[in-house]
Amino acid sequence: MEFRRRALSKPHRSLTPAGAFPAKSGSSTRVQASDALPLPIRHTNKLFSVLFMASMYYLMCRWREKIRTGAPLHTLTLSDIPAIVGFIASLVYLISFFGIAYVQSFVSSHYDEDDFLLSSDQPAPCPLSCSKKSPLAAESLFGDDEEIVSAVVAGKIPSYVLEAKLGDCRRAAGIRREAISRLTGRGMEGLPLDGFDYSSILGQCCEMPVGYVQLPVGIAGPLLLNGKEYFVPMATTEGCLVASTNRGCKAIALSDGAVCVVLKDGMTRAPVVRFATAKRAAELKFFLEDPRNFETLEIVFNRSSRFAKLQGIKCSLAGKNLYMRFSCLTGDAMGMNMVSKGVQNVLDWLQNDFPDMDVISISGNFCSDKKPAAVNWIEGRGKSVVCEAIIKEETVRKVLKTTVPALVELNTLKNLAGSAVAGALGGFNAHASNIVTAIYIATGQDPAQNVESSHCITMMEAVNDNNDLHISVTMPSIEVGTVGGGTQLASQSACLNLLGVKGANSDSPGANSRLLATIVAGSVLAGELSLMSALAAGQLVKSHMKYNRSSKDISKALPPDS
């Protein structure tokens, strides 16, 4: 608190325009209630603590004296009254200050995830909140930007504590950027710094920022899915991708749309524990998989969140090591943190009956996260979705420029047989990961989870007397959320809002994230349809030469001083 008052009274000097970052900060200092105190907060705490101890000591001595002399306890002298007033005042202050802080920290540590599930538009935490996480951040940092940059370059100030010490996320990013430039001898002029709210990523999205990367966002659609139209945002730098997906959306819309169904919904986490013997590990496996114990395990697991709902536990044994795959509903959150907290609750509870259990890791890769794995392909992870459409023969011929027999044959030889020859795991498709990744980046999902989220098998079959095309995509591991993580950022939040799935669904928890998963699957269906048609018609190279190669003279488009 003292830092905030002094910082306001002493403006910092920043680098000139010749430096790597501008002078003014993009964020303002928030005023705290404690700033109204006449003394710094630590001095005020000490004052009331001393007053409390002194008045309590005096009153106890007076109480003992009255008992010894036989004087009535309710009689008060002039010196007793100030002592009682001081005792009550200090007691009220200390209970209010420390009591509320304790309760608030206790509640936030248990329900922080639930809070953002209920309200996704809450502002980011105060930059100084990270002072609790680092001992170095407890000290205030003063001086102009040039002095601080020099200290960072010299290693006197760690770069990662700048936000906490300065209380200004934009200024911290600029100082860090300049320090990195001096350390490496390389500039970052092409990387934008201004125009971004760095406080929105503090503590949840990215550490030690020095700027942000610009990605173009295109719109494909309308995608007619389950009777409703969606305009799908796609963040990509690959030419033809949005255009191709858009053509697939057009073909689907002209054929009465696509139908999508969520088959399963459950995020997983699989810790690995070790015992002295395989027999003992097997005993825990039988205990966890016994239906009679599920209700108890469910109660223990669900304590982690109001939205956590344990669905099942499947175990696998490797010698004396036990892998336990927990699956649970997580509301509209993608849910990795939520399921991890629930698993930790169960592990702590199991330790009472299995004290010889050695917990090796909260994640033993039987989950399996951000890695291609047969368990996700078979059992599913996140949302398991199937999407289908019947494309009319006329649309195949006029819009997709090919024929139904050619598409069916190509799908069999490429997506099915070709992928089998390659030994593909979940890769029985043309380019599902293209669409998944573009939508994930645009809507604030974890891009690394495109690995298992892109597991997809594309099926094509001639129907209606071999005139029309039935196409479907089955995707068992779409991992998405509409709250938490990158979904809170302004750009990504706008893309979610465009799809009508922004934030948590208060009427039916999880409905928004499930709808987003169906939109992802529907978009993949459109992308598969269009790319396969381009391949069948021999148009792929021609299209990429037209849309993915620029004949523009870049040097003429740049400013003269570039």
Which string of DSSP letters, residue by residue, matches 350-400?
HHHH-TT-EEEES--SSS--SS--HHHHHH--EEEEEEEEEE-HHHHHHTS
User: Do 421 and 503 fall within a single domain?
Assistant: yes
Query: How far is it, in rounded angstroms, from Cα 44 to Cα 246?
Result: 64
Q: Give the pLDDT band of residue 469 (cuts 50, 70, 90).
A: very high
The single-letter code of the amino acid at 521 is A
Query: Which range, 24-33, 75-84, 184-193, has the best average confidence (pLDDT)?
Result: 184-193
Helix axes 511-536, 490-499, angle to 10 degrees: 80
In a domain, 510, yes or no: yes
In a domain, 249, yes or no: yes
In a domain, 45, yes or no: yes
Q: Give catalytic status of residue 542 as yes or no.
A: no
Token pair 């969140």 is found at: 305
User: Do 401 and 493 fall within a single domain?
Assistant: yes
Give the pLDDT mean for 220-227: 98
The single-letter code of the amino acid at 224 is L
Query: How far is it, in rounded angstroms, from Cα 48 to Cα 195?
Result: 45
For residue 475, how many C-alpha atoms fall within 13 Å in the half-sphere facing its CB?
Answer: 37
Closest CA to 147 of 162, 128, 132: 162
Give the pLDDT mean for 411-417: 98
User: Do 259 and 294 fall within a single domain?
Assistant: no
* CATH code at position 391: 3.90.770.10
Q: Give the pLDDT band of residue 36 (cuts 50, 70, 90).
A: low
Domain count for the chain, please give it: 4
Range in 333-342, 395-404, 511-520, 539-548 with the lowest mean pLDDT: 539-548
User: Do 511 and 408 fall within a single domain?
Assistant: yes
Residue from 264, 370, 401, 470 carrying the catalytic annotation: 370
Query: Of 153, 168, 200, which residue is a domain's last?
Result: 200
Closest CA to 524 of 157, 188, 212, 260: 260
pLDDT at position 457: 98
User: Do 498 and 538 fall within a single domain?
Assistant: yes
User: Do 196 and 244 fall within a single domain?
Assistant: no
Q: Give catalytic status of residue 238 as yes or no.
A: yes
Residue from 35, 147, 197, 238 carrying the catalytic annotation: 238
In a domain, 112, yes or no: no
The pTM of this model reads 0.76
* CATH code at position 287: 3.30.70.420
Give the pLDDT mean for 460-465: 98
Q: Give catalytic status of residue 147 as yes or no.
A: no
Strands 272-274 and 321-329, how do they pair?
antiparallel
Give the pLDDT mean for 442-467: 97
User: Do 258 and 277 fall within a single domain?
Assistant: no
Residue from 265, 446, 452, 468 carrying the catalytic annotation: 446
Between 453 and 59, the higher pLDDT residue: 453
In a domain, 398, yes or no: yes
User: Do 177 and 65 fall within a single domain?
Assistant: no
3-state secondary structure of 43: helix
DSSP strands (E only) in 410-534: 427-428, 456-463, 468-478
User: Do 184 and 245 fall within a single domain?
Assistant: no
In a domain, 33, yes or no: no
Query: How far is it, in rounded angstroms, from Cα 499 to Cα 496?
Result: 5
Q: Give catalytic status of residue 369 as yes or no.
A: no
User: Do 73 and 189 fall within a single domain?
Assistant: no
Tell me the residue range of the domain where 74 lies. 41-96
Q: Give the pLDDT band of residue 60 (cuts 50, 70, 90).
A: confident
In a domain, 104, yes or no: no
Give the pLDDT mean for 117-131: 46
Closest CA to 499 of 449, 447, 448, 439: 439
pLDDT at position 184: 95
In a domain, 542, yes or no: yes
Mean pLDDT of the chain, nearest integer: 85
Query: How far is it, in rounded angstroms, from Cα 132 to Cα 105?
Result: 11
How many C-beta neighbours within 10 Å does residue 332 have?
Answer: 31
3-state secondary structure of 249: helix
Between 56 and 490, the higher pLDDT residue: 490
User: Do 333 and 306 fall within a single domain?
Assistant: yes
Residue 418 pLDDT > 60: yes
In eight-state DSSP terms, residue 186 is -
| CB-count exposure of residue 353 (10 Å: 0-12, 13-18, 19+) | exposed
User: Do 465 and 533 fall within a single domain?
Assistant: yes
Residue from 66, 320, 414, 544 carrying the catalytic annotation: 544
